[in-house]
A and B are shown apart, each in its own frame.
Chain A
Amino acid sequence: MAALRFAVIGCGAIAESYYLPVLTSRRDLCSELWIVDPEPARLETVSRQFKIPNVATSLSQVLDKIDAAAIASPHDTHFGISQTLIAAAKHVFCEKPLTPSVSEATELVALAEKANVILVPNNLRRYAASFREIKRIISDGSLGRPLSASWAEGGKYSWPTKSGFYFTQKSRNGRPPPGVMLDIGAHVVDLLCWWFGEEPIVLDCRTDSFGGPEARATLILDFAGVRTGIDFSYYQKMSNSYSIRFERGRISGGCYDEHRYTVQQESARPKLVKLAPRGMTYQEHAAQMIAEFVGAIAGGKQPFVSGRDVLPSIQAISEGYRCAKSYDAPWLPRFGK
């Protein structure tokens, strides 16, 4: 596997904590590294922090110097940057969500396939040992058909964003900009689509948006009869757990438990299944994902998660936003003048 010449596009928090520690330390994956950001001050800080001499303020300055790029910029820039990279026959590793819009995501997938470049979204949860095992159980039918599922995930927002882009986005097409449902949902809805192998129908969607990005959302999906309720929050810790009810049992676990889950067969006692001694760290995930990406390029094959794989989840989230209604919220201070 030959190491690639990489660019990291965007020098915000995700670049700092996820991409750059791996790309600067794994010479087997990255032979030369460029960082690109429109803010010179930010470039300088990151360049100094990671000892990266190759800096650029625009993508066009590096296009002929790289083989691939990791896009770590705000999500509403993913489409344009990916388009430029694919047009220049560069492989793309894109932070999730691939794009907020299904039409844009579909176009990118088609462009990448036509240009014969690898397009990988950073949907890292599919790699978790516990979630892979659940996929296997659903597929082999050992607990029967899944009947319903639930997922609740949230916590007080603490992402060390540099730009605050989630909170400063402008509305698109007359709709509020996306918030927590796109941010966390890009992982969760993708995982559920993968597990149940279906393109879901949106039964209901509620958000607490009044024109800005929502901080609380509920999405009810139907995966060919598997009714699934998903809750998201930026406010405070939720139960951070999931549960799937099957014809002959139940599986449950913690949203962040990548190495264990609990299974209950029929009326037997619940059993904790441990698959590995521990979960992976953030940077171990990054190393795994980038190695997979580089390996796919070297081998000329599709990676474990491709751009096409995440289209159903982007479709479901987009549709959720399209039909979103408000919660009944009697606690709002609407006493006026």
Chain B
Amino acid sequence: MSQETILVTGAGGFVGGTIVEALHFGEEYRVLAGIARWSSAPRIARLPITLVQCDVLKPDELAEACAGVDYVIHCAVGDSEVIVQGTKNVLDAAAKARVKRVVHISSVAIYGAATGQVDEETTAPQATLTTYGEAKLASEEVCRKAHVDVVVLRPSVIYGPFSAVWTVRNALRLVHGRWKHLGALGEGKCNLVHVHDVVRFAIAAVRQAGVVGEAFNINGPEIVTWNDYMERFNKHLGLPDITFQAASRTQIKTGLLSPIRVIGKYALKHHSTQLSWLARRNDRLQNLMQQVELTLKCTPDSDELSLFSLDAHYRPDKAERVFGFRSDIGVDAGLAMSVAWLNHMGGPN
């Protein structure tokens, strides 16, 4: 029997890149790695696989990429348009190309600020969805109306090698000694799931029986608090103990930096050329800009603070029951792997 083909959208990203690697090393499927732009190619181009232009906002590219494909694992992510319209385009192209199944990587962000034991039937309390959560929820709605078989996976906080947010940024905060114990602000449940566990579910979902039309929470085997996670991460990095900071001080700092964050994002988006021109001409300005950037990266924003105190557990029971296996990478094993990778990359910079 000839190998079946899987197209991975967003193949240059954190989850998509890991799926492509796992598919390549697994040797069970032929892989097509879909990328929207060349800047996301380096990680996957090092494998002898086929790269395809696949901007999910370009139906023509999707139609070409889906031709002859058996399954699609849809990992492409971006702003709301990419998440919602991009998913619709992927599903339309997959339906036209008679793809057997699409695995859509959604997120537990669709539950907003729901607390307690959160299963797949839980809905987000009113007005608690982030922009990202809203878009992911809308993308799931698109999946329900699709003319192709779809499985939806809702991973929790995905960490591990290549995670720019939960591995690199947090390591940066710890390495620079900028992270403080958050006290009550950090006692929310940290629903960590290692990227390898997410990838195992995503690949299994392409052929698993009894999953079409269903959504599944994908979570890790161990639920710790955010304070605990950062302390363990700190230990794995071999750093001195984290010091305590009063909750009020953390909140004030986050609040004060909020307008600077907004201005910084705007300036980077619209005036990055002028900023780098200015920085090249003035060492002091360059140093100041670097310090501001580091401070912003190292200080949690208000969305993060909400997350760090959220008392929610995304129950993975349904996925474990239907797929017949569970996530098995514990926090310490996952962090050890993350730190080994970080060291290989020259640390967080």
Q: Which residues of A contact B46 (CB under 8 A)?
A: 176, 179, 208-215
**What is the CA–CA distance of A152 and B345 in the complex, to the nearest angstrom?**
10
Interface status of A304 (Cβ within 8 A of chain B):
no
B51 A167 Cβ-Cβ under 8 A: yes
B346 A215 Cβ-Cβ under 8 A: no
Chain A binding surface, main DSSP class = loop
Closest to A232 in B: B346
A167 B344 Cβ-Cβ under 8 A: no
Q: Which residues of B contact A214 (CB under 8 A)?
A: 46
Q: Contact string, B310-346, partner A, CB cutoff 8 A, digits 1/0?
A: 0000000000000000000000000001101100111
Q: Which residues of A contact B27 (CB under 8 A)?
A: 336
**Known contacts A208-B46, A281-B280; A216 and B345 CB within 8 A of each other:** yes
**What is the CA–CA distance of A337 and B27 in the complex, to the nearest angstrom?**
8
Query: For window 206-238 of chain B, which residues contact chain A by CB distance below 8 Å?
Result: none
Q: Contact string, A227-263, partner B, CB cutoff 8 A, digits 1/0?
A: 0000101111111100000000000000000001000
Interface status of B68 (Cβ within 8 A of chain A):
no
A233 B346 Cβ-Cβ under 8 A: yes
Interface status of B126 (Cβ within 8 A of chain A):
no
**What is the CA–CA distance of A210 and B20 in the complex, to the nearest angstrom?**
13
**What is the CA–CA distance of A157 and B37 in the complex, to the nearest angstrom?**
11
A213 B45 Cβ-Cβ under 8 A: yes
B22 A335 Cβ-Cβ under 8 A: yes
Q: Please name the 9 residue pairs, one residue from A and one from B, whose CB atoms are nearest each other, closest first.
A: A211-B48, A167-B45, A333-B22, A215-B42, A234-B42, A164-B38, A331-B161, A238-B346, A167-B41
B280 A333 Cβ-Cβ under 8 A: no
Interface status of B244 (Cβ within 8 A of chain A):
no
Q: How large is the interface on B (under 10, 10 to 19, 20 to 34, 35 or more residues)?
A: 35 or more
Q: Contact string, B268-311, partner A, CB cutoff 8 A, digits 1/0?
A: 00000000010011110000000000000000000000000000
List 17 A–B pairs whose Cβ atoms lie within 8 Å, in order of A's numbering: A179-B45, A211-B48, A213-B42, A215-B42, A216-B345, A236-B164, A238-B346, A239-B349, A278-B282, A331-B160, A331-B161, A331-B340, A331-B341, A331-B344, A333-B21, A334-B25, A335-B200
The 8 Å CB contact of B346, one of A164, A210, A231, A336, is A231
Q: Contact string, B17-55, partner A, CB cutoff 8 A, digits 1/0?
A: 010011011111000000000110111011111010000
Q: Which residues of B contact A267 (CB under 8 A)?
A: none
Interface status of A61 (Cβ within 8 A of chain B):
no
Interface status of B143 (Cβ within 8 A of chain A):
no
Interface status of B255 (Cβ within 8 A of chain A):
no
CB of B202 to closest CB in A, whole Å: 11
Q: Contact string, A146-157, partner B, CB cutoff 8 A, digits 1/0?
A: 000000101011
B346 A327 Cβ-Cβ under 8 A: no
Q: Which residues of A contact B164 (CB under 8 A)?
A: 236
Q: Which residues of A contact B195 (CB under 8 A)?
A: 333
**What is the CA–CA distance of A231 and B349 in the complex, to the nearest angstrom?**
14
CB of A282 to closest CB in B, whole Å: 10
A233 B337 Cβ-Cβ under 8 A: no
Interface status of B347 (Cβ within 8 A of chain A):
yes
Q: Which residues of B contact A213 (CB under 8 A)?
A: 42, 45-46
**Known contacts A167-B51, A208-B46, A237-B349; A216 and B38 CB within 8 A of each other:** no
Q: Which residues of B contact A240 (CB under 8 A)?
A: 349
Taking Cβ atoms with an 8 Å cutoff, the residues of A that contact B are 152, 154, 156-161, 164, 166-168, 176, 179-180, 208-216, 231, 233-240, 260, 274, 277-279, 281, 327, 329-337
B26 A337 Cβ-Cβ under 8 A: yes
A235 B47 Cβ-Cβ under 8 A: no
Q: Which residues of B contact A211 (CB under 8 A)?
A: 46-48
Q: Which residues of A contact B154 (CB under 8 A)?
A: none
A235 B43 Cβ-Cβ under 8 A: yes
A210 B47 Cβ-Cβ under 8 A: yes
B28 A281 Cβ-Cβ under 8 A: no
B345 A233 Cβ-Cβ under 8 A: yes
The 8 Å CB contact of B280, one of A159, A167, A278, is A278
Closest to A213 in B: B45
**Known contacts A334-B25, A335-B200; A212 and B346 CB within 8 A of each other:** no
**Known contacts A216-B345, A237-B349, A331-B341; A180 and B21 CB within 8 A of each other:** no
CB of B118 to closest CB in A, whole Å: 27
Closest to B47 in A: A210
B349 A236 Cβ-Cβ under 8 A: yes
A335 B39 Cβ-Cβ under 8 A: no
**Known contacts A210-B46, A236-B345; A157 and B196 CB within 8 A of each other:** no
**What is the CA–CA distance of A277 and B286 in the complex, to the nearest angstrom?**
13
Known: A154-B346, A161-B38; 20 extra A-B contacts, CB below 8 A, are A179-B42, A210-B24, A233-B346, A235-B42, A235-B43, A238-B345, A239-B349, A260-B283, A278-B283, A281-B277, A327-B344, A331-B338, A333-B21, A333-B22, A333-B195, A334-B25, A335-B26, A335-B200, A336-B27, A337-B26
B25, B340, B341, B349 pick with most chain A CB within 10 angstroms:
B349
CB of A48 to closest CB in B, whole Å: 21
**What is the CA–CA distance of A5 and B341 in the complex, to the nearest angstrom?**
51
Q: Which residues of B contact A330 (CB under 8 A)?
A: 337, 340
Q: Which residues of B contact A167 (CB under 8 A)?
A: 38, 41-42, 45, 51
B45 A332 Cβ-Cβ under 8 A: no
**What is the CA–CA distance of A337 and B268 in the complex, to the nearest angstrom?**
43
Q: Which residues of B contact A239 (CB under 8 A)?
A: 346-347, 349
